[in-house]
Amino acid sequence: MQAAQLAAAAVSDSLRYDEEEDAPDGERAARQEVRLPGPPTDPASAWRTARLISALMARDLADCLAASLDCYARVWTAMDARGRGGAEAWAGAAAADAARDADGGGGGGGGGGRSARAGGACGARGAAWGSDRCAHHPPPLFSVQLVVQDERIAFSPPLAELRAAALSAFDAAPAAAARVEDVAARAADPASEATLRPPPPDHPAIAAPRAAAAGAVDRGLEPPAALAAAFGAFAELLGAGPEERAAAWEAGGHSLEETAAEIERLGALAARVEALSELTVAFRMVSVDAAPARAALAGRALAARGALLARLRERWRAGNEAAISRCEAIADRLAEEPPDAEAMAALAAFASSASDELPALAAAASEAAAVGAVLEAGRGAVDEGGADALWRLRRWPAALEAQLEAAAERLAGYRERFRLQLAADQRALAQDAQTLLSEAAALSSEAGARASEAGGAQSEAGGAQSEERAAAAREVEERLAALERRAQTLSGREDIFGLPHAEHPQLAEARALLAQLGPAPDSPL
């Protein structure tokens, strides 16, 4: 019995933490040493000693494990964001502020409430995340990045991994304790690998500190999660790329006013993203590098804005060039000199259509000016060529109006000129028709005289005269066809001037006389 008591005292003394061991050399206080006379020679005594040692080790292991986990939990509860620091960096944490102001300090020994500590700009709402410098606290334990990943706002590494790392000790410590060798089992069986059994996970000594630490960690991760949710409000910038967004907007048939408003909205959206937070937001537990997400979202807003401006600029340039080309074509056509009445009539018709087209061209010039103002307001790049095209387009409507007036005066002169020319052409046609009729009558008379002659075969001289008459008939036939074409042309010009058609009966009489002669050789009749 005495040997067992001495062994127990020795084990208890050996398991007790000796604070003097941490003291500097030369300052250690003497401590009582228990010396055993030697190992117990009685097997029963040795077995009892081993069991006693095992029991003492299990008890102290449980106590050390509980004390360690409780101390570890206090580390996290001391950093509770509701208690001190961190929440001040959480713009919009009005509820937490009101609670701390109400009780004058908040949990966790965090000092006075916000209203007692903060003043001036520190208490202002609507500030960027991380811009409040009132609450000073030690550097956060974790550092993460807020990024755009798979078209969503995410943390790298995820907050779930931070939580698992913070609470991993509550699983690792019992697992390490479970590797302590069971002395009693080894005494009974030297080949035994049995270990001491620590308290189960649901034991209050483990579950209580774990729950306290988990609550503190969860509360410490709430502000970063809220920051991510604030960036998530710009989810419209995720998904489709800038060109896809611009194409969809263009396909929607939006007006210029709507497009200008959208360009302005996207620019303001980029500014709101950049003003949402500082590049780094230091909460009590976690420091968030928000620069990647901020840059990605703002960049997408600006890229979508730039794509809209680029498409608007390209349509503007193409429309300006097309309108200028049309104005130049109208001006060139109006400057033409008509060679005859038909060309004059065509030019008059073109001038009339150009006059009807002038309001549309003026509207195109006004639209181009409005688009140019939108591009300038949106700081869209407009090169020198584009600016020159806009200037030329804006002056074309007035220039065309002046040219139309000049063309109308010229057409009035051409009309009088070609009307007089028509009268002269009609008189000339009448004279030519009368001359042709006389020749046709002469040929007819000669043919009749030859036909009345009696006799048999004709002489060689008669054959030659017959060929001459045939050639003359062909020549008269060709001249008659040309006069008929002239008569038809002059009739068309009379329609242009609204005049009655002139009659030329000589042409019909000549046609009848030639018909009496019969078809001449090589004649189309």
313-346: per-residue pLDDT in tens?
888 888 889 998 999 999 999 888 999 888 889 9
The token pair that represents 4 in the structure block: 């067992």
For residues 411 and 497, is the Cβ–Cβ distance under 8 A? no
Nearest to 393 by CA among 328, 448, 473: 328
d(CA 365, CA 323): 8
Whether the per-residue pLDDT at 21 is higher than 60: the answer is no
From residue 354, give the alpha-carbon distance in Å to each of 342, 345, 404, 462: 18, 14, 8, 67
The distance of Cα 465 from the centroid of its chain, to the nearest Å, equals 94
How confident is the model at residue 216, as a pLDDT?
Answer: 87
**From the CA atom positions of the chain, what is the Rg in Å?**
56
Q: How confident is the model at residue 154 (pLDDT cuts 50, 70, 90)?
A: very high
d(CA 66, CA 217): 19
Q: How confident is the model at residue 450 (pLDDT cuts 50, 70, 90)?
A: low
Order of strands across the sheet that contains 286-289: 152-156, 142-149, 286-289, 280-282
Place of tokens 């960096």: 89
pTM score = 0.63
Q: How confident is the model at residue 120 (pLDDT cuts 50, 70, 90)?
A: very low
pLDDT in tens, 60-117: 777 887 888 888 888 888 877 453 334 444 443 444 445 445 554 443 333 333 333 3
How confident is the model at residue 464, as a pLDDT?
Answer: 60
Please indicate whether residue 428 or residue 455 has the higher confidence score (pLDDT): 428
Specify the DSSP element, H or E, that contains 155: strand 152-156
How far the first Cα of the chain sits from its last, in Å, is: 160
- Pairing status of strand 152-156 against strand 280-282: unpaired
DSSP string, 187-221: HH-TT---B--PPPTTSHHHHHHHHHHHHHHHHHH
Nearest to 410 by CA among 473, 347, 478: 347
Q: Above pLDDT 90, what percent of the chain?
A: 9
β-sheet bridge partners, residue 195: 181
d(CA 392, CA 154): 52
Mean pLDDT of 424-441: 87
Amino acid letter, residue 476: V
